[in-house]
Amino acid sequence: MFKNSNGSWRTKYSIKGDANVLQLLKLDGPLFLLITIACLLGVFVLFSASNESSEVLIRQLFRISVAFIALLITAQLPTDLIRRLSPWGYFFGLMLLSLVLFLGDIGQGAQRWLDIGIRFQPSEIMKLAVPMMVAWYLHEKKLPPSGKQIFIIFILILIPSILIAKQPDLGTSLLVFISGMLIIFLAGIPFRYISALVLMAIPSSVVLWKLMQDYQRQRVITLLNPDSDPLGAGYNIIQSKIAIGSGGLFGKGWTNGSQVQLEFLPEKSTDFIFAVIGEEFGLLGLLSLLILYTLIITRSLYIASQAPDLYSRLLAGSISLTFFVYVFVNAAMVIGLMPIVGIPLPLISYGGTSMVTLMIGFGILMSISSNRKLLST
């Protein structure tokens, strides 16, 4: 600290200086701050959800560090380069998904992972690769897209979705499908095609039901009446509701959740960490988290609205709305409004590949934001 001419003290580094650092690193200040807060909250909650395991905490901190490095690297990439790499990333992802079917590691009854010294899920890559590919395909096309173009896009989306569903991973398959379809809606799909999609929903759901595994069908049935099998298929939902309900308005306090500490709540570090927050921090804690998510989504959509070109607008819009879908599906799943599909709570749940993928997505948003500012100067 040092004195001003009037004798008052001030810090050496001003707010303007901090803003210059963010600009130099090509980071969007508000979005970066909100993401950092969410990750710190996740570490805080995870410590309790893991029964105060320092080993789990250290692993997650390492993964978050890797994810932030991925964000920083991605933010430095010019948007033009990201666009040119989009088809290569898509076909590389398809190759990895094909390898999973033959060489993938099996865990928890599913064949979803590749182990090349680092164990990861290629399906997570497609959450970004699919919307990038669709945005690349449309970026020089006249909008709204024609019927032929929509058909081609549908095939581009359907191929990876089917490959992921065969692992089986229905939840990720649906999210990849949605992330691509969002591009079509953002591109201004004509109303007649929307009507056709709605009419196709019923026969498509019948086909999807036939393709689902027995345990996946059971999850849908359990959603309608979890008490029909309270110690089996309905156990997860029942325990999750008990945890959230017992938290009340203010919660039981950090590390004091009985459902968590006594191991009644399943997958408490990953898919059901939303219920941990509800039990320990109550309704106010959940509302605070949802407000934080709303701010992240709002800032992301603002960046999308200010994007300088069609590719950037479509991709940024899809990343922003897909993040909303992640939050909505996880929260709805935990409180019993949707079947259990194994979707983690973004930026909060324990995990590596999903965290890195999310951060790369936010890195793309920051690249788009910095590119807009560069063009406007």
Say what the pLDDT of residue 4 is: 54
Closest CA to 288 of 64, 51, 45: 45
Q: Does 168 sit behind a cis peptide bond, omega within 30 degrees of 0 on the bond before it?
A: yes
Q: Is residue 14 part of a domain?
A: no
CA dist., res. 180 & res. 44, Å (int): 33
What does the block give as tokens for 325?
A: 């879908």
Position 31 scores a pLDDT of 95
Is 185 inside any structural domain? Answer: yes
The contacts found for 238-242 with CB under 8 angstroms, 24 or more apart, are: 239/264, 239/265, 239/266, 239/275, 240/265, 240/272, 240/275, 240/334, 240/335, 240/336, 241/335, 241/336
Inside any domain, residue 253: yes
- Domain tally for the chain? 1
Tell whether 241 is covered by a domain: yes
Asked if the structure places residue 4 within a domain, the reply is: no
pLDDT in tens for each of the 377 residues of the chain?
Answer: 545 555 545 544 444 555 677 777 788 989 999 999 999 999 999 998 888 888 889 999 999 999 999 999 999 999 999 999 999 999 999 999 988 888 777 766 667 778 777 777 888 889 999 999 999 999 988 888 888 898 999 999 999 998 998 887 878 888 899 999 999 989 888 777 777 777 776 777 777 666 666 766 777 777 666 766 676 777 888 888 888 988 888 889 888 888 877 778 888 888 899 999 999 999 999 999 999 999 999 999 999 999 989 999 999 999 999 999 999 999 998 888 887 777 889 999 988 888 999 999 999 999 999 876 555 55
**Helix axis angle, 273-305 to 235-247, nearest 10°:** 80
At residue 108, the pLDDT reads 62
Cα(150)–Cα(157) distance, rounded to whole angstroms?
10
- Compute the Cα dihedral for 149, 328, 299, 363 and give only its sign: negative
Domain that holds residue 325: 50-372
| Residue 9 forms part of a structural domain | no
Angle at 85 between CA 79 and CA 88, to 5 degrees: 160
Residue bearing tokens 């993928």 = 357
- Is 140 inside any structural domain? yes
Place of tokens 């929509």: 150
With respect to residue 44, please indicate whether it lies within any of the assigned structural domains: no
